[in-house]
Amino acid sequence: MRILIVEDDALLSAGIARILESEGHSVDVMKSGERALLAASQESFDLMILDIGLPGLDGFEVLRRLRLQGRPVPVLVLTARDAIDDRVHGLDLGADDYMAKPLAMRELVARVRALTRRGKAQSGPRLTHGPLELDTGSRRAYLNGEPLELAAREWAVLEVLLGKVEKVASKEVIIQAVAGWEEDLSHNAIEVYISRLRTKLESAGIRIRTVRGFGYMLEEFKA
């Protein structure tokens, strides 16, 4: 999953990011509501963890604008305010879940898992292509029924390709899906991930074609 943390406490955001990355997620961190809205307008996220007590544009206003813009990203609200009225206000604005600080990190991870499972269940959690299966809910891959080990970025590249079978995915589109916000990722790095995927998949008859000058295409599987 690609998760956006919106939190101005650098120590807290770093701790949350470290734990979520250890769970296999790709994590971006923003310190202001304005930056979060900009990121959400230009990138696709599977979950936003949003602090209410942000400087300037607070979390309630960020949430209100997100929903007004029709952005369906699940939002987990974090706040030092534990009043019932604040919880109700956040949920009424479109929050999907709510946690009060100080956070219990194990509970946070469990809530993140629940929200991402819910989101994937609504969009269809399994992607299949011949003998290849990606369970996006549990983030596990299988080839010919056997577990397939994929690094986080290999998974992200493969997920893009599976969403565009027999259609070209440009390197720019793949970079947007794989790289973090404002992270510099080169075309050469994408070539490395494609090469690793080919090594793991071609023996099972799954072909990734290079379309020179454009990008890559996952060919239709032929038994």
List domains and CATH numbers for the chain.
2-122 (3.40.50.2300), 126-218 (1.10.10.10)
**pLDDT number for residue 183:** 59
Residues in Cβ contact with 91 at an 8 Å cutoff, skipping those fewer than 6 apart: 98
pLDDT at 187: 83
Residue 80 CA: distances (Å) to CA of 61, 102, 103, 213: 16, 7, 9, 51
CA distance 171 to 186: 9
**Interval 122-153: pLDDT, tens:** 455 678 899 999 887 667 889 998 999 988 78
Structure confidence at residue 47 as a pLDDT band (50, 70, 90): very high
Q: Could you tell me the pTM of the whole model?
A: 0.59
Give 78-99 pLDDT, tens digit per residue. Answer: 988 667 777 788 888 889 898 9
Single-letter amino acid, residue 157: V
Nearest alpha-carbon partner for 7 in 35, 30, 41: 30
Per-residue confidence (pLDDT) for residue 77, from 0 to 100: 94
Q: Which of the residue ranges 2-11, 108-117, 169-178 has the most confident prediction, judged by mean pLDDT?
A: 2-11
Range 173-194 average pLDDT:
77
In the chain, where does DSSP find H-type helix? Answer: 10-22, 33-42, 59-68, 84-93, 105-123, 152-162, 171-178, 187-201
